[in-house]
C-alpha cells in the first residue's frame, strides 16, 4: 500500500512539474535556446514516465496485468525507448555544455537550434529503432516467458543484454563522465584566470574568450541533473546485473524501480532551485498571466 501511494504521488507530481517545464520552454520565446530545447526533450521523456510508466507499474506491482498482451508489449517498449532517449538526452546535454565552456567562441555557430532539433529527433528515432532490434523476440512472442496467466514480464537473452549494457550504460556514461570532467577542469581554470591580474588585459580586450558566468552556472546546474540521474540510474542497472545470481528482496527491487522513476520528478525540482527563469515562468503560468495577449514575448530571463 505504501509503495502504491508513493508511486501515485510521484506520478502526479512528475506530470505536473514536467508539464510546467514543457509549457514554459514552449511558450516563452526567450527560452527558445539550444540548451533549453534539450531540457524540453528531457521533460517530454520525464512526462511519459509520470503519465504512462508509473501508473502501469502500479498495476504490475502486487496485482495481475489485466490490460492484455498488446498493452504489455507497448508498456515495455515505451519503457525501453524512454530510457534510451533519456540517456541520449543526457549525452547531448553533456556535449552542449562541453562546447559552451571549452569552445565558447564557436558555440553559437556549432550549437544552433536547427542542429539541436535534428539531434533530438535522431535521439528518439534511434532509441525506437535500437530497442525494436534488441527486443524483437519479445515483441513477436510476448507470452513466451510468462509463467502464469496475468503476468507481464520482459526477458532479454544474454547476447542482447550484453549489447544493451554497453550501448545504454557503459558507453554513454563514459562519454558523460569524460566530457564533464573536461568541463570541470576548464571551468576551474577559467575561474582562476578571471581572478588573476596577469590576464586582466586579455579579459578586457576579449570577454568572449572566457565562457560567460551564466554558461558556467548552466553547466553546474546541468551537472547536478546528470549526477542525480546517475545516482538514480546506477542502482537499477546494478540490480539488473546481479538479479539472476543474488538473493534480492521484493521490497528492494521495488524501491530501486521507484528510485529510477522518481528521477523524472527530481529534474524539474532542480530547475526550480537553480533557474530563476523557471520560477518566474511558474508564477506566470499559475497566475494565468500566460493567457494574456503577447505573453510569449514576456521578459523571463
Structural domain count, the chain: 1
Which residue, 10, 211, 253, 202, is CA-closest to 96?
A: 211
* Weakest mean pLDDT among 25-34, 93-102, 139-148: 139-148
More confident residue, 259 or 200: 259
Residue with the larger pLDDT of the pair 94 and 7: 94
- What's residue 5's pLDDT? 78
Q: What is the DSSP letter of 29?
A: G
* 148 or 28, greater pLDDT: 28
- Answer whether residue 135 shows pLDDT above 90: no
What sign does the dihedral 102-105-110-114 (CA atoms) show? positive
How high is the pLDDT of residue 119?
95
User: For 101-129, what is the mean pLDDT?
Assistant: 91
Mean pLDDT of 141-158: 67
Q: Which long-range contacts (C-beta less than 8 Å, at least 24 apart) are formed by 114-120?
A: 115/34, 116/34, 116/37, 116/38, 116/92, 117/37, 119/92, 120/37, 120/38, 120/41, 120/89, 120/92
Residue 55, phi then psi, degrees to nearest 5? -60, -40
pLDDT at 165 over 70: yes
pTM of the model: 0.84
8 Å CB contact between 49 and 14: yes
Each residue of 51-76: pLDDT tens digit? 888 887 777 665 677 777 788 888 88
Answer whether 97's CB lies under 8 Å from 179's CB. Answer: yes
Per-residue pLDDT at 293 exceeds 70: yes
Q: Average pLDDT, stretch 169-186? A: 85
Q: Where is pLDDT greater, at 232 or 34?
A: 34
Given a cut of 50, whether residue 265 has pLDDT beyond it is yes
Which domain CATH number covers 262? 1.20.1070.10
Q: The C-alpha cell of 62 is what?
A: 502486487
**Phi-psi group of 150: left, alpha or beta (phi > 0 → left; psi -120 to 50 → alpha; rest → beta):** left
Whether 178 contacts 94, CB under 8 Å: no
Whether the predicted pLDDT of 263 surpasses 80 = yes
Lowest model confidence (mean pLDDT) among 85-99, 122-136, 234-248, 267-281: 234-248
Instruction: Determine what percent of the chain is predicted with pLDDT higher than 70.
Output: 77
Tell me how far CA of residue 290 lies from CA of 26, 265, 294, in angstroms. Answer: 12, 23, 9
For the chain, the average pLDDT equals 79
pLDDT of residue 189: 75
Helix (H, G, I), strand (E, B), or coil: what is residue 105? coil
Residues 272 and 282: beta-carbon distance below 8 Å: yes
The whole-number average pLDDT for the span 140-147 is 66
The average pLDDT across 83-108 equals 89
What 3-state DSSP class applies to 158? helix
Cβ atoms of 41 and 260 within 8 Å: the answer is no
Vertex 62 angle, CA 59 and 65, to 5°:
45
pLDDT at residue 15 above 90?
yes
In this predicted structure, what is the pLDDT of residue 62? 59
Cα(58)–Cα(8) distance, integer angstroms: 8
Which residues constitute the domain of residue 197? 2-297
**What is the per-residue pLDDT for 207?**
44
Average pLDDT score over residue span 24-50: 91
d(CA 91, CA 86): 9
Chain segment 197-250, per-residue pLDDT in tens? 454 544 444 444 444 566 666 677 777 888 888 888 777 766 656 554 444 455
DSSP result, 163-207: HHHIIIIIHHHHHHHHHHHHHHHHHHHHHHHHH-STTHHHHHH-G
Instruction: Give the whole-angstrom CA distance, residue 289 versus residue 292.
Output: 6
Amino acid at each position: 500500500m505504501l509503495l502504491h501511494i508513493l508511486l501515485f504521488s510521484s506520478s502526479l507530481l512528475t506530470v505536473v512539474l514536467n508539464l510546467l517545464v514543457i509549457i514554459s520552454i514552449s511558450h516563452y520565446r526567450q527560452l527558445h535556446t539550444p540548451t533549453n530545447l534539450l531540457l524540453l526533450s528531457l521533460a517530454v521523456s520525464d512526462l511519459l514516465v509520470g503519465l504512462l510508466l508509473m501508473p502501469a507499474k502500479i498495476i504490475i506491482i502486487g496485482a495481475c496485468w489485466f490490460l492484455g498482451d498488446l498493452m504489455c508489449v507497448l508498456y515495455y517498449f515505451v519503457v525501453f525507448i524512454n530510457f534510451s532517449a533519456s540517456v541520449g538526452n543526457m549525452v547531448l546535454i553533456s556535449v552542449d555544455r562541453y562546447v559552451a565552456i571549452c569552445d565558447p567562441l564557436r558555440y553559437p555557430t556549432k550549437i544552433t537550434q536547427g542542429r539541436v532539433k535534428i539531434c533530438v529527433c535522431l535521439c528518439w528515432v534511434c532509441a525506437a529503432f535500437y530497442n525494436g532490434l534488441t527486443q524483437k523476440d519479445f515483441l513477436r512472442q510476448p507470452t513466451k516467458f510468462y509463467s502464469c496467466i496475468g503476468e507481464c514480464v520482459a526477458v532479454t537473452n544474454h547476447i542482447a543484454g550484453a549489447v544493451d549494457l554497453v550501448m545504454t550504460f557503459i558507453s554513454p556514461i563514459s562519454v558523460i563522465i569524460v566530457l564533464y570532467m573536461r568541463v570541470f577542469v576548464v571551468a576551474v581554470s577559467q575561474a582562476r584566470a578571471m581572478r588573476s591580474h596577469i590576464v586582466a588585459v586579455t579579459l578586457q580586450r576579449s570577454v568572449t574568450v572566457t565562457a560567460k558566468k551564466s554558461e558556467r552556472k548552466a553547466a553546474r546546474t546541468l551537472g547536478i541533473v546528470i549526477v542525480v540521474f546517475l545516482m538514480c540510474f546506477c542502482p537499477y542497472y546494478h540490480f539488473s546485473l546481479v538479479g539472476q545470481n543474488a538473493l534480492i528482496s521484493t521490497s528492494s527491487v521495488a524501491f530501486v524501480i521507484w528510485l529510477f522513476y522518481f528521477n523524472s520528478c527530481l529534474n524539474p525540482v532542480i530547475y526550480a532551485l537553480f533557474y530563476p527563469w523557471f520560477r518566474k515562468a511558474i508564477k506566470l503560468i499559475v497566475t494565468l498571466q500566460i493567457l494574456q495577449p503577447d505573453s510569449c514575448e514576456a521578459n523571463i530571463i
